[in-house]
Amino acid sequence: MAKRHYFLFLGLLTVLVVGCQARPTSLNDDPPEPLPSYEDVQARAQERIGSLDRFWAVASVGLRFKDAEGDSRREQGEGHFQIVKPSSVALTVGKLGETYLLLGCDDDRFWWIERLEERVAYVGDQDGARDLATARVGVPVLPTDLLKLADLNAWPEPDSPEAGTVIEIERDDLDASKIFAVKFDEGDRSRVVYLTRLAYEPVGVDLVTETGDIAARSQLLGFERVLNRIDPLNHQRVPSRILVDVPSAESRIELSLSRMEISNRRPRALVFDFDELIKRFRIDSVVPLEDIELGAGK
């Protein structure tokens, strides 16, 4: 399988998940209701997300992408989606009980491990990793972006510099009488979360580059309560189905989650220990992304 194919997979899975549910444009000329305050929306988000510092779920993963030859392909697998905040994320994909793809990151590194024709791991530092991912695979996203695309991070406090701005939507495929948005400026890009006016429930997230291009757009469906074994009185709710489109790679990730839980027994620390994973899965070669020539496989 060509290097381009492997790194396209890396780019696809690094993006992870929630987006804007397409709705017909309203034919009603009446102006929408006044926008809520950021304070009210943030408070509702805190009720929904709570202290989601740990998370484990069974994941069904579907990938649609173009391979190195430009042909459309689809892959399907089963695995797990696991989080330990602030920066550890892991997604595994396999078939028939055998793991063949592992995507993850810890505080310092992000990695892509594959056990297909060969057993190889690609790894890079978190610093500057987005620029590196853009140069290698044309997808400017990292594993921790999955949390943003799924709106699984706690929202900034209203009086903090990171607090968002409540805005009217600027998309033709969404109904402004039913949907509004909150925009967060995050340095080299912005994040736009789309929510229902009725319940302040997120329906999608855009990650937008400095030039205004969509780096990733996610769609979030089927919110379900997470089984909280640590604090049963907390009723966190997360999407059970996440769709992520990556326009620059002409690709889509489809993630369905089940058996979601918050507990101290999982995720296990091994999931986020790159050196142990290399030993456990008997990886033959470890390739720093910096050592790969730009344009390889193109």
**Which residue's entry shows tokens 């730009």?**
294
Cα distance between residue 127 and residue 108, in whole Å: 8
pLDDT of 292 = 63
Distance of CA 232 to the CA centre of its chain: 26
| Topology adopted by domain 3-290 | outer membrane lipoprotein receptor (LolB), chain A (2.50.20)
pLDDT above 60: residue 135: no
Token pair, residue 105, equals: 């990151």
Between the alpha carbon of residue 8 and those of residues 81, 93, 144, 273, the distances in Å are: 20, 15, 18, 24
pLDDT above 90: residue 25: no
Sign of CA dihedral 297, 242, 46, 226: negative
pLDDT of 193 = 98
Q: What DSSP element (H or E) covers 197?
A: none
pLDDT of 160 = 95
pLDDT above 80: residue 274: yes
pLDDT of 174 = 92
pLDDT above 50: residue 26: no
> pLDDT class for 33, splitting at 50, 70, 90?
confident
pTM for this model (two decimals): 0.82
Cα distance between residue 256 and residue 258, in whole Å: 7
* Mean per-residue pLDDT, 227-245: 93
> pLDDT class for 76, splitting at 50, 70, 90?
confident
pLDDT above 50: residue 18: no
Top pLDDT among 4 and 224 is at: 224
- Using the 8-state DSSP alphabet, how is residue 282 labeled? T
Give percent above pLDDT 90 in the chain.
Answer: 48
pLDDT of 6 = 46
Which range (47-51, 116-120, 161-165) has the least confidence? Answer: 116-120
Does residue 138 sit in helix, strand or coil? coil
pLDDT digits (tens, 9 = 90+) for 47-63: 999 878 999 999 998 87
Q: Which of 8, 14, 7, 35 is nearest to 180 (CA)?
A: 35
Top pLDDT among 100 and 56 is at: 56
C-beta of residue 261 within 8 angstroms of C-beta of residue 98: no
pLDDT above 50: residue 15: no
Q: Which of 87, 93, 60 is nearest to 145 (CA)?
A: 87
Distance of CA 275 to the CA centre of its chain: 24
pLDDT digits (tens, 9 = 90+) for 167-179: 999 888 999 999 9
